[in-house]
Amino acid sequence: MKTISCSGGQRGAATTRFSTMVSLSTTISRLSRMQPPGARPSVPDRLHDLTGFAPDPGNLRARMYVPADLKPGAALVVALHGCTQDAAVYDHGTGWSTLADAQGFAVLFPEQRRANNANMCFNWFEAADIARIGGEAESIAAMIDAAVAAHGIDPARIFITGLSAGGAMTAVMLATWPERFAAGAIIGGLPYGTAIGVREALERMRGQCLPSADGAAATVRAVAGPVRMPRVAIWHGTADTTVVVANMDALLDQWRGVHGLSAATPRQTVRPGWQHRVWSDPAGTPLVEEWRVLAMGHGVPIDGVSGIGAAGPFMLDVGLSSTMEIARSWGLAEAVDPPVAAQPVPTPRAAKLERLPPEPGATDQAAGTVQATIEKALRAAGLMR
């Protein structure tokens, strides 16, 4: 899909460079506030490795949680972590393995390797990794096949969810391997196919040059082909400054277009703290859902008193458990009315950033150039190899 360049137009070259530098600088500063590589929180690791899956062109690690009472024909949830996280950290924060114990389904956690991305982000903006064959998307599909074969999973009850880069990769999987999934949930993510390369990824995260609704839907249809498309739920915080809420609106446009739904909302629920809207087919089957969490920043909504998940970096206790609500919508947990979300406590202003260290082997002259400065920051943010 073609998108309008954010750095072109009729402006002079100097103005264009200045505007682009401001955009990059602001976004890089936000990304650099993430946990640095190696600063993994100490959490229980309940997962085991799934080995022997093939092919693995994306060079990913596969981790799983299988409850002791898993029965043949159980469901499988695929959960994709965000940047700076690993599978165990994401499981601890979201509580997917805890819910799996209670409800008897299995969970697959694809995990990025630092050799692929310095900040452990799935490469949702690399052309090779978001194609059906030849990159990270194909590796995740191979893991799913291996998990189905190893644990007697029902192929019709496979679901996928993820946060941030994992949310964007969830959109990738729903577009490139739609026949694998009954439904998906994208949390703080971005539309499929809207960015190729680091510069476009940063622009889209800031809401710049997002595609038209028709163009975004056409991008998914072009790669998915004439198959049944999965249901999609889209979660986002209205105060997200890392992946701005315009990406939620673009995702809604993309998937409403994929399912041929109008923008008119047939059903909505509004409560203090959140808004839930549902678009259904003529038979009343929900196909696209929106969960808009008011005043929430970038992260997974959790409910600290539910016993599912734990607050931490990018795990935000807003009194609403996205894990529970997603599982209920997929028929994996008992459906009850969701709670009224508590208003989140504002995040303290981040401390002043320290100067990034020079890249190994960089010359003094290179370190002093604008390009080298941008590249250093992009590597630190995990958006450049």
342 lies in the same domain as 359:
no
Asked if 62 and 277 touch (Cβ cutoff 8 Å), the reply is: no
Which of 69, 153, 42 is closest to 108 using CA atoms? 153
55 lies in the same domain as 194:
yes
Establish if 175 belongs to a structural domain.
yes
Query: What CATH number should be reported for the domain holding residue 49?
Result: 3.40.50.1820
Q: How confident is the model at residue 336 (pLDDT cuts 50, 70, 90)?
A: low
Give me the helices (H) in 330-369, please.
Answer: 364-367
262 lies in the same domain as 134:
yes
* pTM, two decimal places: 0.83
Establish if 1 belongs to a structural domain.
no
For residue 55, whether the previous peptide bond is cis, meaning omega lies within 30 degrees of 0, is: yes
Instruction: Name the helix (H) or strand (E) containing 187.
Output: strand 183-187
Q: What is the percent of the chain where pLDDT is above 70?
A: 76
Establish if 104 belongs to a structural domain.
yes
Give me the helices (H) in 177-212, please.
Answer: 198-205
Lowest average pLDDT, out of 7-16, 220-229, 307-316, 321-330, goes to: 7-16
Asked if 120 and 83 touch (Cβ cutoff 8 Å), the reply is: yes
Per-residue pLDDT tens digits for 60-97 = 999 999 999 998 899 999 999 999 999 999 999 999 99
The mean pLDDT value for 298-303 works out to: 98
Establish if 380 belongs to a structural domain.
yes
Residue type, 16: T
Return the SS3 of 33: coil
Q: Which domain holds residue 380?
A: 15-33+353-385
Asked if 289 and 283 touch (Cβ cutoff 8 Å), the reply is: no
Asked if 108 and 79 touch (Cβ cutoff 8 Å), the reply is: yes
Q: How confident is the model at residue 264 (pLDDT cuts 50, 70, 90)?
A: confident
Residues paired with 212 in a beta bridge? none
* Whole-number pLDDT of residue 339: 54
Catalytic positions are 164
Instruction: Please state, in angstroms and rounded to a whole number, the distance separating the CA atoms of residues 288 and 303.
Output: 23
* Whole-number pLDDT of residue 263: 87
Per-residue pLDDT tens digits for 118-161 = 999 999 999 999 999 999 999 999 999 999 999 999 999 999 99
Establish if 5 belongs to a structural domain.
no
Establish if 110 belongs to a structural domain.
yes
24 lies in the same domain as 74:
no
Establish if 7 belongs to a structural domain.
no
Backbone angles phi, psi at 170, to 5 degrees: -60, -45
86 lies in the same domain as 119:
yes
27 lies in the same domain as 153:
no
Residue type, 37: P
Residue 222, judged by CB atoms within 10 A of its CB (0-12, 13-18, 19+), counts as exposed
Residue 178 clears pLDDT 60, i.e. is over it: yes
318 lies in the same domain as 371:
no
Domain count, the chain: 2
The answer for 382, left when phi > 0, alpha when psi is -120 to 50, beta otherwise, is left
Which of 161, 177, 167, 158 is closest to 223 using CA atoms? 177
117 lies in the same domain as 83:
yes
332 lies in the same domain as 371:
no
Per-residue pLDDT tens digits for 30-42 = 555 555 545 566 8
Inter-residue long-range contacts of 368-375, CB under 8 Å, 24+ positions, other chains counted: 370/21, 374/21, 374/24, 374/28
29 lies in the same domain as 63:
no
114 lies in the same domain as 188:
yes
Establish if 4 belongs to a structural domain.
no
Instruction: Please state, in angstroms and rounded to a whole number, the distance separating the CA atoms of residues 70 and 336.
Output: 24
20 lies in the same domain as 46:
no
